[in-house]
A and B are shown apart, each in its own frame.
Chain A
Amino acid sequence: MSTPNPAPEPPVLAADPEPAPAAVEPSLPSIADGVERHLDPRAVTLDRIVSGIVTAAISLSQLVALVVIYFVADDLPGRSMALLVLFWVAFTLTLAWSSYRWPEVEHRHKSYKVDERGIEIRKGVYWRKVINVPRSRVQHTDVSQGPIERSFGLGTLVIYTAGTSHARVDLSGLEHATALRIRDHLLPEEASDAA
């Protein structure tokens, strides 16, 4: 931000000359074709990065603790110290392996299907779940993007209903444009709730 820019482009905020992406794109076939789709494969990489960061954070903090123990507890026998280090290595490796492996397994078991009557989301590896949200029950939707998601061009679709346990249904790992298309499909055509 400190580098002086000789010809600063005026920030375009209000009047975007380009049409809203995917909102009115006649060339694209409707997303509501009732075909079951998997999420974007890049979502696996994204999940790996995120869980990799978490793994690194946990593992590093444990390493710090180990170092502290090494210097503070002088009278600790060398064998216990070695055992602790071994434990740390095993733990880190397990965590690293699962944060590499799990996103792929999860991805295989996650899919969605959009049709005229609404959206159906499948998820869960061991405890499986199929959530059906009728189109007429969608209160409002969010499409959000975190910093890592943005760099991958991915987004998260959040559907809100008036329900209790499914007041909020998340679908992450969609291509951002797809998320927008699903959102546009799910939004009510007109405000029928004029009560």
Chain B
Amino acid sequence: MTVVDHSAYIDAAAATLGLKITAEQRKGVAMYFGLAAAMAEKLEGLPLHAADESGNVFVPVVPEGEG
């Protein structure tokens, strides 16, 4: 697992999103962000292609009484 210090990113992202991370929350947030980062790292390295693009599909909304 790659060891990265995410603290600068956490501060910048929190400020960008308007989130306040208190001193009490900081250790937990860093721990959980690191856990997500470790999971994200596992997602690298597969030979993915355009056909593997996400299956999330937008469904148009038909007005009531139609369709």
**A pairs with B:** no
